[in-house]
């Protein structure tokens, strides 16, 4: 038997005790997010059965419409948190505008931004997907939250986390006091502390992770960076291994545990990259920073960027500090007179 068994609930309460002024509001949000993670996990685990019980988006044997999983995940998180009384507004990748708290419920001092099911195009082929969340304090005047509460730079996050639905379901979060990982025991329906105080290994594993299919649209600096990581630029670099799942949560989870460098660079077609700043890049950056790593958009610290719109994108270089530093250096060097975008 392990020395102690710590559920996520107990862990959240223990953490809260370290802050005598804590009201419990914040703990309650984390607990509700864990509950939503369990509900989404249950549906993700059934995904392979949709052809048997009725196609997603169509009707099941009961004549009910089966929701697409990303829409389901969006709804579950909203409904798990809309009535808790601690949030003033929410925003999700699945909704164009901010999500107000319904009038009949109280509001509070926190803001939740989330990507309900990142990598959801992988669902049909049984590949890992995940949920990402970012929590800020309310900054606007007035009782109900506004877009101003959502448009805050990442360094103001007071918590960030993700749930990864892989060979097991894991919830990883930070409030700026260490990064902690919990594995869902499906037989008892509890997240149990399995990875306390996660630190990225130093040196990190030499793994790079990027969609190389986009190479034809990359800047010369980006091409050079990848050639360097492959040991093809005449330097003495021992080559890196390549790994790319195409599910950011899964790729960054591996990067957090093993070290390495995950990238989604800008390219000619997507001058600001693909990933969303507020609910993809920033929360992952807070977690990786807190575990000893680093995250930049090529030149700027991800957490320093002031967002201008809810769904804005950002290039992302994230992982072991030494490899992000290396990327930053190579991206800043002139190549054939072409300076990185
Ligand atoms: P999504 O939020 O629509 O799922 O898109 C984000 C996903 C990330 O998980 C992943 O890193 C990236 O898209 C993969 O994109 P690509 O297929 O261009 O490599
Ligand atoms: Mg996403």
Best residue among 68, 131, 211, 311 to mutate for probing ligand 1's pocket (most ligand atoms within 8 Å of CB) is 211
pLDDT of residue 54: 42
Atom of ligand 1 nearest to the CA of 120: 4
Domain boundary among 174, 195, 216: 195
Q: Is the pLDDT of residue 243 over 60?
A: yes
Structure tokens at 314: 């950002």
- pLDDT one-digit tens code per residue, 146-173: 999 999 999 999 999 999 999 999 999 9
Residue minimizing CA distance to atom 18 of ligand 1: 211
Whether 120 lines ligand 1, by a CB cut-off of 6 Å, is yes
In a domain, 16, yes or no: yes
- Contact predicate 90/97, CB 8 Å: no
- With 0-12 CB in 10 A as exposed, 13-18 as middle and 19+ as buried, what is 189? exposed
Q: Are residues 244 and 289 in the same domain?
A: yes
- Domain-embedded: residue 202: no
Q: For residues 180 and 53, state if they share a domain.
A: yes
- For residue 164, give the ligand nearest its CA: 1
Please determine, for residue 316, whether its predicted confidence score (pLDDT) is greater than 70. Answer: yes
Of the candidates 151, 175, 195, which is a domain's last residue?
A: 195
Q: How far is CA 180 from CA 161, 192, 286, 287, 299, in A?
A: 9, 11, 13, 9, 29
**Same domain assignment for residues 161 and 13:** yes
Quote the domain boundaries for residue 255: 207-332
Distance from the CA of 115 to the center of ligand 2, in angstroms?
6
Cβ of residue 119 lying under 6 Å from some atom of ligand 1: yes
Average pLDDT estimate for 120-136: 90
What is the tally of structural domains in the chain? 2
CB 109 within 8 A of CB 88: yes
265 Cβ below 6 A of ligand 1: no
Same domain (yes/no): 30, 169: yes
Residue 51 has pLDDT above 60, yes or no: no
pLDDT digits (tens, 9 = 90+) for 176-214: 999 999 999 999 999 999 999 999 999 999 999 999 999
Residue 282 covered by a domain: yes
pLDDT digits over 278-300, tens only? 999 999 999 999 999 999 999 99
Ligand 1 atom at minimal distance to the Cα of residue 129:
9
> With bands split at pLDDT 50, 70 and 90, how would you rate the model's confidence at 341?
very low
Residue 185 within a domain: yes
> Is the beta carbon of 118 within 6 A of some atom in ligand 1?
yes
For the stretch 60-100, pLDDT in tens is 444 555 568 889 999 999 999 999 889 999 999 999 999 99
Nearest CA to ligand 1 atom 2: 118
- 1 pLDDT band, cuts 50/70/90, is low
**By percentage, how much of the chain surpasses pLDDT 70?**
92
Q: What is the mean pLDDT of residues 31-36?
A: 95
**Which of 170, 195, 220 is at the close of a domain?**
195
| Predicted local distance difference test score (pLDDT) of residue 288 | 98
**pLDDT the model gives residue 3:** 72
| Ligand 1 proximity of 248 Cβ (cutoff 6 Å) | yes
The structure's pTM equals 0.93
Residues 189 and 160 in one domain: yes
- Average pLDDT in the chain: 90
State residue 63's pLDDT score: 53
pLDDT for the residue 65: 54
In a shared domain, residues 173 and 300: no
> Which residue has 């990327």 as its token pair?
327
18 sits in the region (left: phi over 0; alpha: psi -120 to 50; else beta) called alpha
250 CB within 6 A, ligand 1? no
In a domain, 49, yes or no: yes
CATH code at position 74? 3.30.540.10
Predicted local confidence at residue 340, as pLDDT: 41
Ligand 1 pocket check for 274: Cβ under 6 Å? yes
Give 261-291 as a DSSP string. Answer: EEEE---SS-TT-SSBIIIIIHHHHHHHHHT
Q: Are residues 215 and 189 in the same domain?
A: no
- Together in a domain, 21 and 74: yes
Q: Are 146 and 232 part of one and the same domain?
A: no
User: Is 233 part of a structural domain of the chain?
Assistant: yes
Residues 86, 21 within the same domain: yes
109 shares its domain with 215: no
Q: Is the CB of 246 inside a 6 Å radius of any atom of ligand 1?
A: yes
Ligand 1 centroid to Cα of residue 108, in Å, is 32
Q: Give the residue among 259, 258, 300 at the shortest CA–CA distance from 277.
A: 300
Domain containing residue 280: CATH number? 3.40.190.80
Within a domain: 201? no
């Amino acid at each position: 038997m392990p020395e102690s068994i710590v559920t996520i609930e107990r862990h959240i309460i223990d953490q809260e005790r370290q802050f005598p002024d804590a009201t419990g509001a914040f703990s309650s949000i984390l607990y509700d997010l864990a509950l939503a993670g369990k509900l989404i996990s249950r549906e993700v685990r059934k995904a392979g059965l949709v052809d048997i019980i009725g196609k997603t988006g169509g009707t099941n044997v009961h004549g009910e419409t089966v929701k697409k999983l990303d829409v389901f995940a969006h709804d579950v998180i909203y409904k798990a948190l809309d009535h808790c009384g601690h949030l003033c507004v929410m925003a999700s990748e699945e909704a164009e505008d901010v999500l107000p708290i319904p009038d009949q419920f109280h509001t509070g001092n926190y803001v939740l931004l989330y990507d309900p099911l990142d990598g959801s195009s992988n669902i049909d082929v049984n590949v890992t997907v995940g949920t990402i969340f970012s929590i800020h304090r309310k900054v606007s005047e007035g009782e109900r939250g506004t877009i101003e509460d959502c448009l805050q730079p990442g360094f103001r996050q007071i918590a960030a986390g993700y749930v990864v639905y892989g060979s097991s379901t894991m919830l990883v979060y930070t409030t700026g006091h260490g990064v902690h990982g919990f594995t869902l025991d499906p037989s008892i329906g509890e997240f149990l502390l399995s990875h306390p105080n996660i630190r990225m290994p130093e040196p990190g594993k030499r793994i790079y992770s990027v969609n190389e299919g986009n190479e034809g649209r990359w800047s010369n600096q980006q091409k050079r960076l990848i050639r360097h990581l492959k040991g093809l630029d005449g330097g003495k670099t021992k080559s890196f291994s390549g790994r790319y799942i195409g599910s950011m949560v899964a790729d960054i989870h591996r990067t957090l545990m093993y070290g390495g460098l995950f990238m989604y660079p800008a390219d000619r077609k997507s001058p600001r990259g693909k990933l969303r700043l507020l609910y993809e890049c920033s929360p992952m950056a807070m977690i990786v920073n807190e575990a000893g790593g680093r995250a930049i958009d090529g030149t700027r610290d991800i957490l320093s960027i002031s967002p201008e719109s809810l769904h804005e994108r950002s290039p992302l270089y994230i992982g072991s500090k030494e490899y992000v530093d290396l990327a930053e250096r190579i991206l800043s060097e002139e190549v054939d007179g072409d300076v990185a975008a």
